[in-house]
Amino acid sequence: MTQTAFSRPIALSMGDPAGIGPEIIIDAFVREPGLMQPCIVVGDLQVMQRAAQLYQTVHPGSAVPLPVAVPGWEAAVPEGRAGVRILQGCTSPATLPRFGEVQQEAGRMAADCIVLGARAALQGQAAALVTAPIHKEALSLAGIAHPGHTEMLQALAADHAGVGVGAMPVRMMLANPELRTVLNSIHLSLRSAIAAVQVDQILQTIRITDAFLRCTALGRLRAPRIALAGLNPHAGEGGLFGDEELTAIIPARDAARAEGISVSGPYPPDTVFMQARHHAHDPLPFCDAVIAMYHDQGLIPVKYLGVEHGVNVTLGLPLIRTSPDHGTAFDLAGKACADSTSLREAVRMAVDLTQAA
């Protein structure tokens, strides 16, 4: 993959500067420079220089690319200099954030970079947005009203489209080579997530999932197949262990089928993910995605299969957004030892989705 394959760059936000985001970005450029070539890092030049210097110290034999400031989205690395293009996405602080700590300034810097990268993708300056990890508590300290990337991007996209947030429904999909899971609700308490198991909410999740799979290569160029996880043990056993399957999940399934969507279930949540994984590469797979009824139900199986290979994709946005399937890893920050595999997979998926769109 070379830069010449792209007419527009991929925006890559640096994440929380106190976490591993800047370090895994440098590691990704070291390990797969061809893959990373289309990326412009929306970040802080000093933060990225610190990450590069740290990486060179810890890995003295590595060819560490030099962070190079660029003035805009069309800028290339100066001739003869192999570097990481950095578009300044935030005000640089007098003192760089300390590694491994929740800090208001770090949250502000991360949020400002997300906003700039998202707006570039929404306005067509960037082909896609890949986001390095942020810390939700740091965002809150910085006065950001949204609990995470997904909600921030939803609000930015809605504002760009001139509609209310409710008119820009989004869902989170976690994907790896063996399993794709879409969440019916995202960052809610378990009590609130159960309350969100409603016909309209589930039907909307099915529609968003089907539309995404149909418009990308992930749908395997055929009508995608979607499986629904139940909410209750054994998918409720006909109402013996809860009635949400009968009152919400099955009616939503039937309504989706009436629209021509291939959706099955609800299946017992303790087995549906295994079925999806074990038959993922069959000529006619069990499903192309499983819809989980709440956050942890869907994330636990994907992360168990290997966080390093997981990718977070936001569905329903008028832009392509992917992210690694892990957090800021404050315990590893400042050591230049974090694994960039998930970030590279996120860039790889962004490239694939950009080319399939």
- Taking the C-alpha atoms of residue 17 and residue 140, their distance in angstroms, rounded to an integer, is 15
Q: What is the pLDDT of residue 188?
A: 87
Structure tokens at 47: 């933060």
For residue 5, is pLDDT > 90? no
Q: How many domains does the chain have?
A: 2
Chain centre to alpha carbon of residue 196: 22
Q: Could you read off the pLDDT of 269-291 as tens digits, one per residue?
A: 999 999 988 877 777 788 999 99
State which residues form the domain around 82: 3-168+326-356
Condensed to tens digits (0 to 9), the pLDDT of residues 294-343 reads 999 998 998 888 767 789 999 999 999 999 988 999 999 999 999 999 99
Question: Can you give the CATH number for the domain in which 209 is found?
Answer: 3.40.718.10
Do 131 and 23 have their domain in common?
Answer: yes
**SS3 at position 180:** strand
Count, residues in the chain? 357
- pLDDT for 82: 62
Q: Are strands 289-292 and 83-88 parallel, antiparallel or unpaired?
A: unpaired
pLDDT at 307: 67
The pLDDT score that the predictor gives to residue 236 is 85
Beta bridge partners of 11: 40, 129
- The verdict on residue 189 lying in a domain is yes
- Asked if residue 314 belongs to a domain, the reply is no
pLDDT at 220 over 70: no
Specify whether 199 is located in the same domain as 155.
no
Model confidence pLDDT, tens digit, residues 44-65: 999 999 999 999 999 999 999 9
Q: Are 27 and 158 in a shared domain?
A: yes
Residues 53 and 192 in one domain: no
98 and 148 co-located in one domain: yes
List beta partners, residue 322.
Answer: 130, 313
Average pLDDT of the chain, as a whole number: 91
Residue 312, domain member (yes or no): no
Residue 316 resides in a domain: no
Q: How confident is the model at residue 78 (pLDDT cuts 50, 70, 90)?
A: low
Same domain, 153 and 218: no
What pLDDT score was predicted for residue 79? Answer: 54
Residue 306 domain flag: no
Statement to judge: residues 73 and 216 lie in one domain: no
Same domain, 13 and 162: yes
**183 and 142 both lie in a single domain:** no
Which pTM value belongs to this model?
0.90
Residues 237 and 129 in one domain: no
Whether 252 is covered by a domain: the verdict is yes
Q: Residue 134 in contact with residue 148, Cβ under 8 Å?
A: yes
Same domain, 126 and 215: no
Same domain, 30 and 127: yes
Question: Is 87 inside any structural domain?
Answer: yes
Does residue 66 form part of some domain?
yes
Q: Would you state the torsion angle of the CA atoms of residues 135, 138, 144, 149, taken in this order, to the nearest 10 degrees?
A: -10
Q: How confident is the model at residue 124 (pLDDT cuts 50, 70, 90)?
A: very high
> Do residues 270 and 237 touch, judged by C-beta distance below 8 A?
no
pLDDT of 230 reads: 97
